[in-house]
Amino acid sequence: MRYYLRKLGFFLLTLWAVVTLNFVIPRIAPGDPAEIMVQRLAGKNAQLDQAQVQAMRDLLGTPTGSLPAQYLQYLGQLFRGDLGLSYNYYPFKVTEVIGQAFWWTLVLVTVVQVLSFVIGVLLGAFAAWKRNGRFDTTVTLVSTFLGTLNSFWIALLLIIGLGYGLGWFATSGGYEQSTPGFNWPFVYDAISHAFLPALTLMIITPVGWVLGMRNTMVLNLGEDYIKLAKAKGLPDRVVALRYAARNALLPSVTGFALALGGVLGGTILVETVFDYPGLGRLMGEAVGVKDYPLLQALMLLTAVATLVANLVADLLYGVLDPRVRRAQS
């Protein structure tokens, strides 16, 4: 029980630190969102009117007063679920803007992460079992090569080749002709638009799981319990799956949980290249126009999701490996 209480305590302390940093960082960043919006409306070379800038600050509800007062106001808004108005999408609330992009990223990145984890772990485990063979060499070299590629570059190649060249898939947006809803035309349209972003991520995402699982399992295959299992005459399949792969999988559980937690952060480069209406593109836009309320909410959402996923992984780790729980009790 002490193990779980300690993990929960660390989670609450880290959550408070994340909430505080999320309050401080936008306020020490250079630039004034009100000035940026007035400059955009007046023209690039126009001289700013300070009266208009102040009016824009009042319209956007820019925080005023001392930092402690703003901090207390910020905490109160968080407890009420009030994340403010988006500067870039005014007069819409931040929660409304995020709500529209949330499901696009959740479906796309979650499906990619789950498939990448399963494929990567299986390939890594089989490569480790057949270590120093042709399959192991091929998988290791290909994974190492793919790991050096940039997602932005891969996305551009897929757009040029499969999008513009062959015309098989849509190259931008989330849907085009159909009406949003749970109907087949919309689902088909959404899948065709999501295919290239998903393929871009699928090319590079499994690399970490492949190499991590392979290296961990190779180390486990040299342990005494593996030699004992082989000496007992157990089938190779049982030794590989129930002994080596099962123990090698434990470190990947934490990594997979963190990866799922990072889903809500989206993939800024990929979603921006494909103009995909997800949280990643939203965060890129928020950084570019200094939309502090939106950026603050996205950063907080990503951090909290990662913390929760890490907490779940720690608790699950204690269940899967009792030695960890006993060592900290």
For the stretch 204-259, pLDDT in tens is 888 888 888 888 877 777 777 777 777 777 777 777 777 777 777 777 777 776 67
Taking the mean position of all CA atoms in its chain, how far away is CA 247? 26
Q: What span, in angstroms and rounded, lies between the C-alpha atoms of 106 and 100?
A: 11
Take residue 194 and report the two structure tokens written for it. Answer: 């999501």
Taking the mean position of all CA atoms in its chain, how far away is CA 124? 22
Q: Using DSSP, state whether 175 is helix, strand or coil.
A: coil
Closest C-alpha among 86, 83, 151 to residue 289: 86
Quote the pTM value. 0.70
Q: Using DSSP, state whether 87 is helix, strand or coil.
A: coil
pLDDT in tens, 120-130: 888 888 888 77
Taking the mean position of all CA atoms in its chain, how far away is CA 80? 26
pLDDT of residue 134: 86
Closest C-alpha among 324, 318, 310, 317 to residue 15: 310
pLDDT of residue 196: 86
pLDDT in tens, 39-62: 666 666 667 767 777 777 666 666
Taking the mean position of all CA atoms in its chain, how far away is CA 320? 25
Proportion of the chain in helix, strand, coil states, percent, rounded to 5:
75, 0, 20
Residue 306 phi/psi, 5-degree rounding, is: -65, -40
Domains identified in the chain and CATH numbers: 95-327 (1.10.3720.10)
pLDDT in tens, 261-316: 656 555 777 887 888 888 888 887 887 777 778 888 888 888 887 788 777 777 76
Q: What span, in angstroms and rounded, lies between the C-alpha atoms of 15 and 310?
A: 12
pLDDT of residue 111: 84
